[in-house]
Amino acid sequence: MDKYETFLSGLTMVKPYDFKNKGRALQYRVNYMLARLCAMFKYEGLPDTIPQRMLELYLLSIGHCVITRVDGVLYALFGGFGGKLDEYYRPTIYTVSNPYLTFYENLRIGSDCVLCGNDSAYQGLLPLLRQYGSAMVENELSMNIADINSRIISLITADNDTDLESAREYLKKIERGEISAIGEGAFFDGVKTQPYAANGSYRSLTDLIEYEQYLKASLYNEIGLNANYNMKRESLNSSESQLNNDALTPLIDDMLNMRKAFVEEVNKLYGTEISVDFASAWEDNELEAEAELESIIAESENVSRETSDEPEQEETEDERKTKTD
């Protein structure tokens, strides 16, 4: 057995996904979204002691952290707010407790450390991911139940154990692909079938799939990715597909501005040369938006230039007489 066969044999040990374990299903969804969001920004010049992945996980999940020196080395550490509030009722102290570094300090924000925030509310994205993730988990379980129920074409009932066993044996033969027959007339009297709402189950499953698409599109729109949800079940025209573009950028723009602000402060306080900007699909969207804006400006300038270059019409003799009068 070669290494590939060994690997494939290991895949057979994978257990079925437990749809009923809502807590674990939600954790999976949140973790996968955090993994995607870690690709939103790219940093240049970060010290080796501040991994970008950990910095972003702190910001995305907790909403804040600080960058400070420990024994002359820069680290990104998370903790809690405290101290006397300033004139805008903001905390002035950030308390850090890091057993590995044996670092337990009350750091004064702005002088002992630089406060880093994911957004203006220092909230992070976990509340947003939990909100949509919880709805998706419930809908996923409903889809699983509807999918299983769609297998049921009719319900079989029996008056006694003999007829019930005969019905089971008949179904087993059908499942094995055998052509079976019923030899006793009493079977028809003791066993009854009731039609099941198969069409209703299909309609329910379709609605649940549409709801799943709506939740995913809403979540991606929240984090700046255009994922239109089509309620009309037909193609969208270009104007309709642009309707939600204006709602995509406010949150992610705020996130980028917060990162640029604390990066600038870190550079000023500790003499580093760190920079940050969008990456991955978010960078592509920004470039497309800039190109579209430049195209609109160029088109507007061309129209203005053509208007100004139009020759003035000469006055007629009647118009000159009117002015003279």
8-21 tens-digit pLDDT:
565 566 788 899 99
d(CA 207, CA 148): 16
Which candidate, 208, 321, 325, 259, places its Cα nearest to that of 40? 259
Say which residue the tokens 């007489």 belong to. Answer: 321
Q: Are 79 and 91 in contact (CB under 8 A)?
A: no
- Helix, strand and coil content of the chain, in percent to the nearest 5, comes to 55, 15, 30
d(CA 125, CA 255): 10
d(CA 220, CA 227): 6
Between residues 41 and 193, which one has the greater pLDDT?
A: 41
In the structure encoding, which two tokens stand for residue 242, read together? Answer: 């642009």
Residue 112 has pLDDT above 90, yes or no: yes
Residue 196 has pLDDT above 90, yes or no: no
Q: What does the domain layout of the chain look like in residue ranges?
A: 128-245
Average confidence score pLDDT of the chain: 83
Q: Which pTM value belongs to this model?
A: 0.76
Structure confidence at residue 229 (pLDDT): 66
What phi and psi values does residue 306 have, to the nearest 5 degrees? Answer: -65, -35
Q: Are 189 and 160 in contact (CB under 8 A)?
A: no
- pLDDT band of residue 103 (cuts 50, 70, 90) is very high
Residue 118 has pLDDT above 90, yes or no: yes
Q: Are 40 and 278 in contact (CB under 8 A)?
A: yes
Average pLDDT on 88-97 reads: 96
